[in-house]
Amino acid sequence: MTNAQASTQEQWSSRLMFILAATGSAVGLGNIWKFPYITGENGGGAFVLVYLICIATIGIPIMIAEIMLGRSGRQSPINTMRILAKASNARPSWRYLGWFGVITGFLILSYYSVIAGWTLAYIVKAVSGDFSGVSANDTQTIFSDFVNSPLQLTLWHSFFMLATMWIVARGVHNGIEKAVRYLMPTLLILLILLVAYAFSSGDYIRGLKFLFSPDFSKISAESILIAMGHAFFTLSLGMGAIMIYGSYLPNGISIAKVSIIIAIADTVVALLAGIAIFPLVFANGLEPTSGPGLIFQTLPIAFGQMNGGTFFAIVFFVLLGFAAFTSSISIIEPAVAWLVENRGWKRSKACIYAGLLTWLLGMGTVFSFNYWKDIKFYSMTFFDLMDALTANIMLPIGGMLIAIFSGWVMHETISREQLNIGKMYHLWHFLIKFVAPFAVFIVLLHAVGIA
Asked if 23 interacts with ligand PHE (CB under 6 A), we say no
Asked if 19 interacts with ligand PHE (CB under 6 A), we say no
- Distances from the Cα of 294 to the Cαs of 141, 273, 298, in angstroms? 13, 12, 6
Per CB under 6 A, the list member of 22, 219, 331, 388 interacting with ligand PHE is: 331
**Rounded to the nearest 5°, which phi and psi values hold at 379?**
55, 25
Residue nearest to ligand PHE (CB): 30
Alpha helices by DSSP H, listed for 306-381, are 309-343, 347-368
Asked if 26 interacts with ligand PHE (CB under 6 A), we say yes
Asked if 113 interacts with ligand PHE (CB under 6 A), we say no
CB closer to ligand PHE out of 105 and 279: 105
CB of 266 to ligand PHE, least distance (A): 7
Asked if 259 interacts with ligand PHE (CB under 6 A), we say no
CB closer to ligand PHE out of 105 and 304: 105
CB closer to ligand PHE out of 43 and 334: 334
Asked if 2 interacts with ligand PHE (CB under 6 A), we say no
Instruction: Give me the count of residues in the chain.
Output: 451
Asked if 228 interacts with ligand PHE (CB under 6 A), we say no
- Cα(327)–Cα(266) distance, rounded to whole angstroms? 12
> Could you tell me which residues are beta bridge partners of residue 380?
377
What separation, in Å, do the N-terminal and C-terminal C-alpha atoms of the chain show? 43
CB of 241 to ligand PHE, least distance (A): 4
Asked if 36 interacts with ligand PHE (CB under 6 A), we say no
The dihedral built from the CA positions of residue 364, 366, 372 and 378, taken in this order, carries a sign that is positive
Q: Is 378 exposed, middle or buried (0-12, 13-18, 19+ CB in 10 A)?
A: exposed
Asked if 117 interacts with ligand PHE (CB under 6 A), we say no
Asked if 109 interacts with ligand PHE (CB under 6 A), we say no
CB of 7 to ligand PHE, least distance (A): 27
Asked if 233 interacts with ligand PHE (CB under 6 A), we say yes
**Angle CA 255–170–152, to nearest 5:** 105
Asked if 31 interacts with ligand PHE (CB under 6 A), we say yes
Tell me the DSSP string of 153-220.
HHHHHHHHHHHHHHHHHH-IIIIIIHHHHHHHHHHHHHHHHHHHHHHHHS-HHHHHHHHHS--GGG--
CB closer to ligand PHE out of 324 and 414: 324
Q: Which residues contribute to the site for ligand PHE (CB under 6 A)?
A: 25-26, 28-31, 108, 233-234, 236, 239, 241, 327, 330-331
